[in-house]
C-alpha cells in the first residue's frame, strides 16, 4: 500500500464500483457483499452508513444531490435511495443483472445498462419512471458519461461500442421511444473490455482489457481524429522468464488534468498522459488486485478499491478475503502533466 493513503472502512467482500457526489463530499461503494456503503469524507474518517440489498451490487451513482443515489446489481432492480429520509424505492427493473449506470445532471435522467442487452432511460420524478428502452447487440459491461461534450459511451461484450448524445437520450425519454446511437463501432481491443473511462475534455475515452492492454480512442469520426487512436500494453510482468499478463480492471480520468489512472489484477496503480503517450507515475504495489477507481469531481482525491478479482488461482485464502478501501490525496499534483518543451 502506498504511504499516505487514507484507509476507510471497507465492505466485507469485493468492491464492484465507486462513485462520488458532485460536491466531492460523499463516496458510494457498491460491493459483492450485497450492500452499498455511504462514506462522508471527514478527517479522521468516520464509519459509513450501510444499506443492504438482496444480491450483490454492481453499479452505483449519485443523482440530483448528495442525498439521492441509485444502485443496481444481480437482483435486476434499480433502487433509489434518499439518504436524508432513509427511504428506498424500487423504480424499475431489467431482465438480467444491472452492470452499469450513469446520472445525466443536465437532463435529470438516469441511464442503466444490463446483461439483458439493453439500456434504459429513467426519469425518477415521473409517475412512470421508465421512459425508454433501447435494445443492443450484446450485454452491457460499462457506461461512461462526459459532460464536456454530452456523450454517453456504452461498452458491450464482443467488442461492441455505441456512442449516444445526451440530448438524444433526453429526447427519447420525453417522447417515449428508442434512443438512436450517434454511431457504433468495434473496440480497438481484441479481448474482453474490463473498464472504460471518458476523457475530461470529452474528446474520447480509454478502454482496458483482460489481456493487459489499454486503447485510447476518439469520438470524432474525422479521419484526422481517428488517426490519433492507439493502444499499448500495460500491467504485465516477467515471472520466471515468462511474460505474465494481468487484467486491467479499472480506469478513471482526472477531472481537471485529463490524465488517467489504471489499476490491475497485478495490484499496480499507474497514472498515464494519453497525449504524451507515456506513464507519469507508478505507485508501490498494493497487496491484491485493484478492482475499482474513481476521482472526486474536485480532483483532490482518488478512491481506490482493492479486492481479489477471481481471475487467477490464488492459493492463499487471506488474499481472497482481503478488501481495502483507500483515498489517495496527492493526485492533484501526481496527475498534473509535465510541461512540454
Angle at 62 between CA 61 and CA 66, to 5 degrees: 155
pLDDT bin (cut points 50, 70, 90) of residue 2 is low
Our measurement of the distance from residue 191's CA atom to the centroid of its chain's CA atoms, rounded to an integer in Å, reads 19
pLDDT in tens, 252-310: 999 999 999 999 999 999 999 999 999 999 999 999 999 999 999 999 999 999 998 76
Q: Examine the pLDDT at 188 and tell me if it is beyond 90.
A: no
pLDDT bin (cut points 50, 70, 90) of residue 186 is confident
Could you tell me if residue 255 is inside a domain?
A: yes
Could you tell me if residue 174 is inside a domain?
A: yes
State the chain's mean pLDDT as an integer: 93
Higher per-residue pLDDT: 194 or 60 = 60
Cβ(314)–Cβ(277) below 8 Å: no
Q: Other CB atoms closer than 10 Å to residue 131's CB: what's the count?
A: 22
Of the listed ranges 27-31, 42-46, 171-175, the least confidently predicted one is: 42-46
As a whole number, mean pLDDT of residues 311-316 equals 56
Residue 191: predicted pLDDT? 82
pLDDT bin (cut points 50, 70, 90) of residue 128 is very high
Report the domain count for the chain. 1
As a whole number, mean pLDDT of residues 101-110 equals 97
Could you tell me if residue 339 is inside a domain?
A: no
As a whole number, mean pLDDT of residues 200-217 equals 94
Could you tell me if residue 301 is inside a domain?
A: yes
CB proximity list for 204: less than 8 A, separation 6 or greater: 198, 216, 217, 218, 219, 220, 229
With the CA atoms of 24, 25, 31 and 35 taken in that order, what torsion angle do they form, in degrees rounded to the nearest 10?
-140
* Residue 301 dihedral angles phi and psi, to the nearest 5°: -135, 150
Q: Examine the pLDDT at 199 and tell me if it is beyond 90.
A: yes
Tell me the CATH number at 322.
2.130.10.10
* Helical spans, DSSP H, in the chain: 166-175, 223-226, 317-321, 331-334
Could you tell me if residue 1 is inside a domain?
A: no
Could you tell me if residue 130 is inside a domain?
A: yes
Q: 62 lies in which domain range?
A: 6-331
As a whole number, mean pLDDT of residues 319-335 equals 90
Could you tell me if residue 194 is inside a domain?
A: yes
Q: Examine the pLDDT at 3 and tell me if it is beyond 50.
A: yes
Q: Examine the pLDDT at 315 and tell me if it is beyond 50.
A: no
Amino acid at each position: 500500500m502506498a504511504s499516505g493513503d487514507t484507509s476507510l472502512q471497507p465492505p466485507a467482500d469485493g468492491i464492484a464500483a465507486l462513485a462520488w457526489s458532485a460536491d466531492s463530499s460523499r463516496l458510494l461503494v457498491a460491493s459483492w457483499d450485497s450492500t452499498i456503503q455511504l462514506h462522508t469524507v471527514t478527517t479522521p474518517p468516520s464509519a459509513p452508513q450501510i444499506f443492504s440489498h438482496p444480491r450483490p451490487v454492481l453499479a452505483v451513482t449519485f443523482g440530483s444531490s448528495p442525498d439521492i443515489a441509485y444502485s443496481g446489481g444481480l437482483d435486476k432492480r434499480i433502487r433509489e435511495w434518499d439518504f436524508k429520509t432513509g427511504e428506498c424505492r424500487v423504480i424499475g427493473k431489467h431482465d438480467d443483472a444491472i452492470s452499469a449506470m450513469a446520472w445525466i445532471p443536465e437532463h435529470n435522467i438516469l441511464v442503466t445498462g444490463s446483461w439483458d442487452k439493453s439500456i434504459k432511460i429513467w426519469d425518477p420524478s415521473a409517475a412512470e419512471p421508465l421512459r425508454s428502452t433501447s435494445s443492443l447487440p450484446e450485454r452491457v459491461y460499462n457506461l461512461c458519461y462526459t459532460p464536456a461534450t454530452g456523450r454517453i459511451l456504452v461498452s458491450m461484450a464482443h467488442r461492441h461500442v455505441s456512442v449516444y448524445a445526451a440530448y438524444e437520450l433526453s429526447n427519447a425519454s420525453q417522447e417515449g421511444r428508442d434512443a438512436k446511437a450517434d454511431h457504433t463501432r468495434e473496440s480497438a481491443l481484441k479481448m474482453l473490455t474490463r473498464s472504460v473511462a471518458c476523457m475530461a475534455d470529452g474528446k474520447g475515452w480509454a478502454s482496458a482489457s483482460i489481456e493487459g492492454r489499454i486503447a485510447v480512442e476518439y469520438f470524432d469520426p474525422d479521419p484526422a481524429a481517428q488517426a490519433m487512436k492507439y493502444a499499448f500494453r500495460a500491467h504485465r510482468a516477467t515471472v520466471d522468464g515468462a511474460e505474465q499478463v494481468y487484467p486491467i480492471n479499472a480506469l478513471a480520468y482526472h477531472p481537471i488534468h485529463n490524465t488517467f489512472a489504471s489499476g490491475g489484477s497485478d495490484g499496480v496503480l499507474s497514472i498515464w498522459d494519453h497525449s504524451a503517450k507515456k506513464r507519469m507515475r507508478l505507485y508501490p504495489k498494493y497487496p491484491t488486485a485493484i478492482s475499482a477507481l474513481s476521482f472526486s469531481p474536485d480532483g483532490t482525491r482518488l478512491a481506490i478499491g482493492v479486492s481479489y478479482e477471481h481471475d487467477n488461482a490464488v492459493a492463499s485464502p487471506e488474499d481472497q478475503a482481503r478488501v481495502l478501501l483507500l483515498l489517495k490525496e496527492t493526485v492533484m499534483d501526481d496527475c498534473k502533466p509535465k510541461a512540454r518543451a
